[in-house]
Amino acid sequence: MAMDAISVIRTKRDRGELSDEQIDWVIDAYTRGEVADYQMAALNMAILLNGMNRREISRWTAAMIASGERMNFSSLSLPTADKHSTGGVGDKITLPLAPLVAACGAAVPQLSGRGLGHTGGTLDKLESIPGWRALLSNEEMLHVLDTTGAVICAAGDGLAPADKKLYALRDVTGTVEAIPLIASSIMSKKIAEGTGSLVLDVKVGSGAFMKTIEDARELASTMVGLGTDHGVKTVALLTDMSTPLGLTAGNALEVRESVEVLAGGGPADVVELTIALAREMLDAAGVRDADPAKALADGSAMDVWRRMIAAQGGDPDAELPVAKEQHVVKASAAGVLTRLDAYDIGVAAWRLGAGRARKEDPVQAGAGIEMHAKPGDTVTAGQPLLTLHTDTPERFEYALQAIEGSYDIAAAGTDFTASPVVLERIA
């Protein structure tokens, strides 16, 4: 059937349903360059304004998967499970989670990304480890997975190339927020990756992409439906991101904290979420006789971490980078810390050099923020509340502007109940 971009745009502009043939054609034609960026931008805006039903989103996702290769892990002796987070501040969970799940008997092929804006990227964090490589061939990835049980690396150009073009276009045309496009972007890569099961960590709150529980629930339900439609057992947890995770936001800072978790310590919220996601991943993979809490305590998860890092060229014993300059922010009053805004802390860490505004921008391995108190803690006037780290001290003033108004301290004795880490489960 003959197709043209204008008729496809008009269909969605006029609140119609795109046919399977229209979706297949427009994704393929855009990937090949037959449909121009400005035409796809118009279609993306029509989707943002008028939405898509489940059939349309599923077909859109399938077309993006079909634009490239699909990986296959059937040669492995272990079931595979993967996790995806929609991104947040201090979200280093992938680092302890992948080796923990591997230590419990499931293989973890974790394709991760780099950070943009206030959210840090998993690959940026790991690249602070001397020698560690994010870029692996498919053969290298399979070898690391087969020999260590877990791999964290960059997605190859062959996986869902249509999504790579669409993501870049959405970023500059004000259509990032379209839930059908967010869901299909995430799920096309995860399904093409070839994992047998998938657990989604959908963040909710000021430091997350989804600010409200309703939007997060819609996104999670859409992605769980897409996974189910494509034969991947998928579960989602909605998790709190009104406060940063753990006590660090940065790159090397978060690696140190992740190693503390693997050593049996670390902040309680990071440990809680790591174990919760591990249990979901193991259950989805059909591994039900392992206890992830025990694997953290007995050192077996740490053993996998060390093998995984070494297999990708890193030195697990190497000293991590430390920023050249520090600046301490002190509590303005005594009392109970009742709020520490994740978005503000994330923006400040980004301004210190821990993140990037463009994909090609460099990041500082040692930059970021240490938090010396979390909501619910009692503080005294003048005690250290935050420590800012950067190699370029001229960044401090800009970062401090982001921190103004980022925390509240109530009178001593004020009742305070922290939000639970896990808010909902969607399956």
Query: Where residue 12 sits, what CATH number does that domain have?
Result: 1.20.970.10
Tokens of 282: 């193991």
Active site residue 256: no
In a domain, 406, yes or no: yes
Give the count of domains, the chain: 3
The one catalytic residue in 59, 114, 170, 306 is 170
Q: Are residues 200 and 276 in the same domain?
A: yes
In a domain, 60, yes or no: no
Q: Are residues 106 and 204 in the same domain?
A: yes
Q: Are residues 224 and 333 in the same domain?
A: no
Decide the pairing of beta strands 108-112 and 150-154. Answer: parallel
pTM exceeds 0.85, yes or no: yes
The one catalytic residue in 84, 164, 190, 356 is 84
In a domain, 93, yes or no: yes
Looking at residue 168, its pLDDT comes to: 84
Which of the 8 DSSP states describes residue 234? E
The one catalytic residue in 12, 118, 165, 189 is 189
Find the CATH number of the domain harbouring 389.
3.90.1170.30
Q: Are residues 126 and 274 in the same domain?
A: yes
Tokens of 152: 């964290």
Tokens of 7: 């008729």
Q: Are residues 238 and 263 in the same domain?
A: yes
In a domain, 417, yes or no: no
Look at residues 359, 394, 202, 207 and name the one whose alpha carbon lies nearest to residue 280. Answer: 202
In a domain, 128, yes or no: yes
Q: Using CA atoms, how far apart are residues 290 and 406, in angstroms rounded to an integer?
A: 41
**pLDDT tens, the chain, 427 aa long:** 679 999 999 999 999 999 999 999 999 999 999 999 999 999 999 999 999 999 999 999 999 999 999 998 989 999 999 999 998 999 999 999 999 999 999 999 999 887 766 767 899 999 999 999 999 998 999 999 999 999 999 988 888 999 989 988 987 898 988 999 999 999 999 999 999 999 999 999 999 989 999 999 999 999 999 999 999 999 999 999 999 999 999 999 999 999 999 999 999 999 999 999 999 999 999 999 999 999 999 999 999 999 999 999 999 999 999 999 999 999 999 999 999 999 999 999 999 999 887 767 889 999 999 999 999 999 999 999 999 999 999 999 999 999 999 999 999 989 999 899 999 999 9
Active site residue 20: no
Tokens of 163: 């999504």
C-alpha count within 13 angstroms, C-beta hemisphere, residue 245:
33
Active site residue 84: yes
Q: Are residues 306 and 337 in the same domain?
A: no
The one catalytic residue in 82, 91, 124, 163 is 163
In a domain, 64, yes or no: no
In a domain, 69, yes or no: no
Q: Are residues 330 and 390 in the same domain?
A: yes
Active site residue 300: no
What is the number of other CB atoms lying within 10 angstroms of the CB of residue 254? 29
Active site residue 185: yes
Find the CATH number of the domain harbouring 207.
3.40.1030.10
Q: Are residues 215 and 252 in the same domain?
A: yes
Q: Using CA atoms, how far apart are residues 265 and 268, in angstroms rounded to an integer?
A: 8
Q: Using CA atoms, how far apart are residues 384 and 392, in angstroms rounded to an integer?
A: 21
Q: Are residues 240 and 358 in the same domain?
A: no
Distances in Å between the alpha carbon of 383 and those of 240, 331, 379, 405, 409? 27, 6, 7, 17, 13
Q: Are residues 201 and 301 in the same domain?
A: yes
Q: Are residues 268 and 346 in the same domain?
A: no
Looking at residue 1, its pLDDT comes to: 62
The one catalytic residue in 67, 185, 258, 300 is 185
Domain housing 18: 5-51
Q: Are residues 137 and 107 in the same domain?
A: yes
In a domain, 113, yes or no: yes
